[in-house]
Every structure is written in C-alpha cells, then in structure tokens.
Amino acid sequence: MSAAPDAGVDAYLQHLAVERHLAARTLALYGTALSQLQAAAAADGVALRDAQSHHLRRWLAGLRV
C-alpha cells in the first residue's frame, strides 16, 4: 500500500512545472522518485516532511544504478 500523496510534493512539482518549465517526462520522473522516498520514510514511521538525512541516505543506498 502506498502513502497518500504529500501536499508539499504536489506543490513542488507544480512549482517545477510552472516556474521552471520542466518537461512532462522530467516531472513524472521527479514525482516517481519523490513517491518512492515518501514510501521509504513511511516504512520508517515518519512523514516525508519529518524525514532526516539518515532516511534519505538509506533510501539513496537502496537505489539501483
């Protein structure tokens, strides 16, 4: 089960679309990455807005390149 979308993430993606004029594919990729980060934070029992650097490092370490 995935976490509900974060309003901050939605606002950030909207900012990138309107102010930075990023391409739709770029926005989709950013949205996917942020959703994965949000799910990883939720698995640790924290909201994305409360995530600390160690949550981000753990998530990054788990990414496959």
Q: Is residue 64 pLDDT above 80, yes or no?
A: no
Position 1 scores a pLDDT of 42
From residue 26, give the alpha-carbon distance in Å to each of 1, 45, 55: 25, 29, 24
Here the tokens at position 62 are 């788990």
Q: Report residue 65's pLDDT band, with 50, 70 and 90 as the boundaries.
A: low
With contact defined as beta carbons under 8 Å apart, do 41 and 56 qualify?
no
- The runs of H, that is alpha helices, within 1-65 are 7-18, 24-43, 53-62
Q: Report residue 3's pLDDT band, with 50, 70 and 90 as the boundaries.
A: low
Query: What is the domain partition of the chain in residue ranges?
Result: 7-62
Q: Is residue 53 pLDDT above 80, yes or no?
A: yes
Q: Is residue 51 pLDDT above 60, yes or no?
A: yes
Q: Is residue 37 pLDDT above 90, yes or no?
A: yes
